Structure 1
Amino acid sequence: MKILFIGARLFDDIALYTKNKNITSILTESNSDSKNLKLADVSYIVPRGMEGPKEIALKEDVDAVVPLIGIDKPLVEIAKLKEDLENNYGLPVVASPLEAVITAQDKLKTKEFFIENKIKTPDFSKISKGFKPELPVVLKKPEGQGGNGIKIALTDSDLEINIDNFECAIAEKFVEGIEVSIEVLRWNGKTVPLVPVNKGKTTFEGIHPLDKLKTVPLNMKNVDNENIRSIAQKIANLLGSEGVIDIDIILDKDGVAHFIEINTRPSGTRYLTSASTNISPMHELVDMATGKWNYKDVETRIKKYCALEIPIGDYNTENNNHQFREFNSDNCWVIHGPDKFQRITIRAEDIQKAYEVAEKLNIDYKKFN
């Protein structure tokens, strides 16, 4: 079996898995300095865009293509490549189709999708001259991720200063509560929602979840985790997503779920998902490509561990490499992320034991509470 992987940045998440499965890995990347290039059996440096990966896919006569893209901008191009390779060459590409990507990337289209399908989402309005929303309000440009293109206006002055930069944008009601993400696997019309992840409280400062302490499971009064999973499954089915998607939610003080965004790409919470469920979304993408993915098998393999993730900056250990990226026991931990932005994800039988592991590793988690 030979698979083309597009993008080296996330390849270390699956390098060991492909090797253990005797899969020949072909990797394309536009950055010649990527340290993950050496992890693949064969690697190619190509220009930005999808022409290079397409050329290599056909040249190498691969059996499938798996884009490993963690940012939004290239996703439309990937969806167009998917259409081309699947329709004209019969080559499966494990990624969401074009219509799903366009709906997810455009925040206004996402809002319209939620409303059309009666999925609860915060009230919003299109920004127009002279509009006066109820404050605080979240200003969102049509595209952007990781906090880019978003501004929280707390006062009339905030609104006045920022409004000119948000032409053709939306103003969304600020919901005070808990940020949540859930990853959903979908392939060949079969869907498996995984686990809701607690990413911490919403903040007026718009602190990115990567800079917060995150936990699984989502233990909140009046919150039904299975209901969240059910709605996430409904969203993936209606969207027609493929591969893996990540859905962002805010739970208000009454435990009501407000659905915010959809990301048709691997999630930043994938290690928490893997630690808590024993299902690695990245590994599942490989299984989809090989034709061995079975949703019933995934459902039977789902475990219910607790997990804790803490930003640690830099942690002096040899364990931050692809050889140590598996959760292989009941109480274990994984270091991941680039230099200066490392995180530790801890699996444990209960959340208190996860905190105890952090203490034994001399990791200060209390500053995030």
Structure 2
Amino acid sequence: MKILLTAVGKRIQLIKKLKIASSVIGTDAGDLVAASCFLDKFYKVKKYYEDGYVEQLLDICYKEKIDYLIPLYEKEFELLCNCRELFERKGTKLLLSSKKIIEICNDKSKTYEFFKANNICCPKTYFKEEVPDNVKFPLIIKPFDGMGSSNVFKIKNKKELQFFIEYVENPIVQEFIEGIEFTIDVLCDLKGNVIFSIPRERIEVRAGEVSKSRTIKNEKIIREVKELCNKLNGIGENEFLIGPLTIQCILNKNNEVYFIEINPRFGGGVPLSFEAGGNYALYLNKMKNGEDIEPLEDFKEITMLRYDEAIFI
């Protein structure tokens, strides 16, 4: 099996895990890319918004006989969704959820509307002009089209709100939910069926990416994640979750699950879920070969401590 990853950057742990059961080719718009040293082959390509970018990917898929294209950068998702059939003509399956689902996931205001319309528990959310004068603090502010934890701030009073609501581009404001934050790594087959759902407690986050985390067998979170996935699969005809996604939630002291975000991609801390038993490459191989897949019902509870490492070239 051959996998093509885009925007590989420094996703070295992900590449190493995928290479256990597959050949991994990668692309990036930059020259000095740490992950390129760990790939089976690396291609420098144009930026996603430049003319010819899709054509470059199509050429790579044809030349390398790629089975799965897995994009890692949210801003190119819609573009690649529109070209799904072009890749299939090259024999490559785009491992990315359907377009309507992408639109919901990539726009946090649409995510909130989806949560409310489907009675999914989530924090109260306000757009810039809607924050009431008597709003209760603390709050969370972030861009509605943001990625990761970039430009996400906790606000303790009105003075901070006035500053950050102008500082953050395209802001939305949410009530702050006290509790334990989880990221759930999910893998779906080509028809939206959940193969596994592995919750990771976010113990420590550094520069927007989890640095300390542990897997937790929380049956309530796992059950509610599967229900959320079923509702996403039901938003339209031939709309399915496909491949990897990460879902973020907070578990409060009353054991209530508040969902925050849905990201249709690999999360930064996904190597922990690999190690816990969620072997994506193994299941992608089964999907490629048309094998029946039994959902993963058990996984290891382990802790991941991440550290920096240098490459010299």
1:65 aligns with 2:68: yes
1-structure distance, mates of 2:215, 2:2: 35
Match of 2:302 among 307, 310, 315: 307
SS at 2:80 equivalent: helix
Query: Which AA in structure 2 matches 1:310?
Result: L
Partners of 2:227 and 2:213 lie apart in 1 by: 22
The aligned runs of 1:1-369 (5 Å cut-off) are 2-9=2-9, 10=11, 13-14=14-15, 18=19, 25-49=24-48, 50-51=53-54, 52-58=56-62, 60=63, 62-69=65-72, 71-86=73-88, 89=90, 91-128=92-129, 131-132=132-133, 133-166=135-168, 168-189=170-191, 190-200=193-203, 208=208, 210-211=210-211, 213-218=212-217, 224-235=220-231, 237-238=233-234, 240-276=240-276, 278-285=277-284, 287-288=286-287, 290-292=288-290, 294-296=292-294, 298-299=295-296, 302-311=297-306, 313-314=307-308, 338-339=309-310
Unaligned runs of 5+ in 2: none
Q: Kindly state the Cα deviation for residue 11 of structure 1 after the two structures are TM-superposed.
A: 6.1
Name the CA shift for 1:183/1:198 in 2 (closer, same or farther; >3 Å): same
Instruction: Encode CA deviations 1:272-322: one digit per residue, 9 max, x unaligned.
Output: 21222x12235544554x3356431x53xx5432201224x44xxxxxxxx
SS of match in other structure, 1:128: helix
Determine helix, strand or coil for the equivalent of 1:162. helix
Q: Give how far 1:266 is off.
A: 0.4
Task: Label 1:144 to 1:20 Cα distance change in 2 as closer, same or farther (>3 A).
Answer: closer
- C-alpha distance 162-186 of structure 1, shift in aligned 2 (>3 A): same
Per-residue deviation, 1:34? 2.7
- In our comparison, the structure showing a higher alpha carbon Rg is 1
Aligned-pair distance for 1:18? 4.6
Q: Secondary structure at the match of 1:74?
A: helix
What CA distance in whole angstroms lies between the structure 2 residues aligned with 1:165 and 1:286?
45
Aligned residues: 299
5+ residue gaps, structure 1: 315-337, 341-369
SS at match of 1:194: strand
Contact 2:141 2:153 in 1 (8 A): yes
- Structure number with the bigger relative contact order (C-alpha 8 A, sep ≥ 6) is 2
Give 3-state SS (helix, strand or coil) of 1:210's partner. strand
- Cα deviation, residue 109, structure 1: 0.5
Distance 1:136 1:18, change over 3 A: closer
The alpha-carbon deviation at position 61 of structure 1 amounts to 6.2
Residues 122 and 258 in structure 1, CA contact (< 8 A), matched pair in contact too? yes
Distance 1:55 1:248, change over 3 A: same
Q: What do residues 24-82 of structure 1 show as CA deviations (whole Å, max 9, x unaligned)?
A: x5443333333443544443322222322122223x1625232251x433333332332
Aligned partners of 2:274, 2:223: CA distance in 1, in Å?
Answer: 21
Cα-to-partner distance string for 1:113-156 (whole Å, 9 max, x where unaligned): 11111111111222217742221111222111232232221111
* Equivalent position amino acid for 2:300 in 1: Y
Q: C-alpha displacement at 1:172, in angstroms?
A: 0.8
SS in structure 1 at match of 2:94: coil
Give the whole-Å Cα distance in 2 for the aligned partners of 1:32 and 1:101.
Answer: 29
Q: Which letter maps to 1:66?
A: L
Give the TM-score normalised by structure 1: 0.70
Change (3 A) 1:165 1:292: same
Give distance in 1, aligned partners of 2:25 and 2:246.
26
Q: What is the RMSD computed on CA atoms of the aligned residues?
A: 3.2
- Bigger shift: 184-193 or 248-257? 184-193
Distance 1:78 1:246 in 2: 19
Q: Which amino acid aligns with 1:247?
A: I
